[in-house]
Amino acid sequence: MEHYAGLDVSVKETSVCIVDGAGKVTREVKIATEPEAIRAVLVDETFTIERIGLEAGPLSQWLYSGLAEAELPIICVETRHMKAALSAQLNKSDRNDARGIAHMMRVGLHRPVHVKTLASQKRRMLLTARQLLQAKALDIENDLRGTLRNFGLKVGTVRSSSRRGSASLSRIIRTWLRSSNHC
């Protein structure tokens, strides 16, 4: 008989609910939020899982990749759609949310979302980190300019296409520190 699973993920623990084709709960557990732990619960010879629902969130890309590697039929579902469907529940809990997600997988009421590949996620993370570092470097440089201006030191404009401005700023700061006996 076919089975369907729902995962309600939080940072430390994940609630897992497995229901059969008739909607009867077969298994409910709360386990660590790790792909290996979740895989251990979902891979069982006593039942065949047709679909596994995972709500999109901060950990979903990581969990999706780990479960997809194990060739499990994982589907990452849209958060707003799932929230609207689960809002009718009387008792809002991780356990009930996992059960609701499993039932949504059973009846096919879900909207899958695209999960980017691990390589794409790494590339995006590197580009974002680079952009952040560039912005912080510019903030520090501008802060130093403002601080030095209070002491009458005027640093010329820095052209973004060359690194000469940063070198001249460093030279001015070193000269000022030596002359002020602060070193």
At 57-103, the pLDDT tens digits run: 888 888 999 899 989 999 999 878 778 777 777 677 888 889 889 98
| Same domain flag for 98 and 155 | no
| Same domain flag for 53 and 99 | yes
At 92, which CATH number?
Answer: 3.30.420.10
Question: What is the per-residue pLDDT across 124-179, written as a single tens digit (0 to 9) for each?
Answer: 999 999 999 999 999 998 898 888 888 887 776 655 544 555 666 777 777 777 77
Mean pLDDT, range 26-45, rounded to an integer: 91
| Same domain flag for 152 and 97 | no
| Same domain flag for 51 and 96 | yes
| Same domain flag for 71 and 161 | no
pLDDT at 13 over 60: yes
According to the model, what pLDDT value does residue 112 have? 86
Structure tokens given for 162: 């060359």
Q: Cβ distance 13 to 94 under 8 Å?
A: yes
Structure tokens given for 117: 């590949």
Domain count, the chain: 2
* Torsion angle defined by CA atoms of residues 13, 4, 62 and 39, in that order, rounded to the nearest 10 degrees: 70
In a domain, 122, yes or no: no
According to the model, what pLDDT value does residue 144 have? 87
Total residue length of the chain: 183
Question: Model confidence at 1, in pLDDT bands (50, 70, 90)?
Answer: confident
DSSP string of 82-102, one letter each residue: HHHHHTT-SS--HHHHHHHHH
Phi-psi region of 91 (alpha: psi -120 to 50; beta: other; left: phi over 0): beta
Structure tokens given for 84: 């609207």
According to the model, what pLDDT value does residue 3 have? 93
In a domain, 126, yes or no: no
Question: Model confidence at 31, in pLDDT bands (50, 70, 90)?
Answer: very high
Instruction: Reduce the DSSP state of residue 28 to 3 states and report it.
Output: strand
Q: pTM of the predicted model, to two decimals?
A: 0.69
Residues sharing a CB contact under 8 Å with residue 46, sequence separation 6 or more, in sequence order: none
Structural domain containing residue 143: 135-183
Provide the residue type at 118 as one letter. L
According to the model, what pLDDT value does residue 175 have? 77
According to the model, what pLDDT value does residue 37 have? 93
pLDDT at 28 over 90: yes
| Same domain flag for 109 and 144 | no
According to the model, what pLDDT value does residue 160 have? 56
Mean pLDDT, range 28-43, rounded to an integer: 92
In a domain, 123, yes or no: no
In a domain, 54, yes or no: yes
| Same domain flag for 15 and 60 | yes
In a domain, 124, yes or no: no
| Same domain flag for 113 and 141 | no
In a domain, 91, yes or no: yes
In a domain, 125, yes or no: no
